[in-house]
Structure 1
Amino acid sequence: MGQTPDYVLDRPSVDDVDQFFAVDSDPRVWTHLPSGRLTDEEEAEAILVRLVSQWELDGIGPWMVRETPGGDILGHCGCSLRGVAGPGASRGTPGAFWNLGYRFRPEAQGRGLASAVSRDAIAAAGDVDPELPVVAYLLEVNTASAVVARKLGLELVHRAPDVGNPDPAAIRLVFADRELTADQLDATLA
């Protein structure tokens, strides 16, 4: 658990399910990808179980972001290991990378939280495995997310149609802190 005067970072817990669901089911959070919105609290609980497992297996994962200790969740943000074969798989897998993700309640957006907590997340990922790139992939219509990625120093390394998206006009952007291998780029698009 980390704390600064601006926010508190907690590891996820299944006890967070109601507030996590409130964030991830809010249509205002999903204007860029309405089909990504959670509609079932059981799905939110399953995601939280997976996030708890990520922390146990990988030593890192998204944090629940709060304003005060024990306060309401403002959102979640962090780096997760991606591009590996399964839970606990080796970070040495050719497609492995740190996926940086951030999602905040609309009332918490615009306060710099995504940028600040993402900096913490990138530093934490570097402490666990600095050999892996940090990647943020997003839809082009999510301009606020792209602004955060650029503020963090991530560079646009890929722009193409978002294969499999319900919106055939959707464009996927991939930002990274370094050049990606073909396997890493493929893993971000899977």
Structure 2
Amino acid sequence: MSDLRHVRTERLQLDVPTIDDLEPLHVVYADPRTWAHSPDHLHADERTTFVMLAGWLDGWERDGLGPWVVRSLDGGAFLGNAGRWLLAAGCWRGGWWNLGYAIAPDARRAGLATKAARPALAAARAVRPDTPLIARLLEHNSASKGVAERLGMTRVHRGPDEGNPDPAAIRLIYCDRDLTPEELTARLG
């Protein structure tokens, strides 16, 4: 993977987002179907999506990697986003890579999230191989759980989702490697 800013797979084009991607990203993030597993995260206004996009672009500049926008190779249709961004965890050696994606609801069920996330794992390992790759998800989000498992990640935590308005919500954490109890505690914070 020489040019991480533009990656082509068998079916997808993955590119660093630009401000021109704001509107289609907002359409995905403002769709209640995108957030069926976590309605509190719905983007009610475009400003919320703009702040998210600005954070991704900062990550690309700072860390050399961030989420891509995902387009179909067949016609270039906007499908969503996928990728990794670096999160800090206290002072634990630079944090971890967090896997995230959102595929447009009408384009789901074709394995696109897994196909878009797989190169993100390879890219994160190329940029910072010693940094763990984490997927944080809610237990009832079976689609995200399936993506993490298809990517070869292992569940390293299951417990209450602190701060969630739903007191019954369970947080799962998947990782590409074993974590010490101290590392896991840092990631839960």
Shared fold (TM-score, shorter chain, > 0.5): yes
Displacement of 1:96 after TM fit? 1.0
**1:57–1:84: structure 2 CA closer, same or farther, 3 Å change rule?**
farther
Provide the secondary structure at the position in 2 that maps to 1:29: coil
Establish whether residue 36 from structure 1 lines up as the match of residue 35 from structure 2. Answer: no
Q: Where does the alignment leave 5 or more consecutive residues of structure 2 unmatched?
A: 1-5
Paired letter, 1:32 = H
Q: Where does the alignment leave 5 or more consecutive residues of structure 1 unmatched?
A: 86-91
| Number of matched pairs | 184
Establish whether residue 167 from structure 1 lines up as the match of residue 137 from structure 2. Answer: no
The structure 1 segments of at least 4 consecutive aligned residues displaced by more than 6 Å after TM superposition are none
Moved more, 109-118 or 29-38: 109-118
Deviations 1:117-159 (A, max 9, x none): 1110000001001111111010001011101101111001000
Name the structure 2 match of 1:189: 188
**1:184–1:25: structure 2 CA closer, same or farther, 3 Å change rule?**
farther
Structure 1 CA distance for aligned equivalents of residues 154 and 103 of structure 2: 23
Identity %: 45
Name the structure 2 match of 1:88: none
Moved more, 131-140 or 109-118: 109-118
Establish whether residue 135 from structure 1 lines up as the match of residue 134 from structure 2. Answer: yes
- Of 37, 56, 60, 1:51 maps to 56
Alpha-carbon RMSD: 1.8
Structure 1 CA distance for aligned equivalents of residues 39 and 21 of structure 2: 23
Name the structure 2 match of 1:177: 176
**1:18–1:183: structure 2 CA closer, same or farther, 3 Å change rule?**
farther
Paired letter, 2:166 = D
Name the structure 2 match of 1:152: 151
Displacement of 1:187 after TM fit? 4.1
Structure 2 CA distance for aligned equivalents of residues 76 and 183 of structure 1: 31
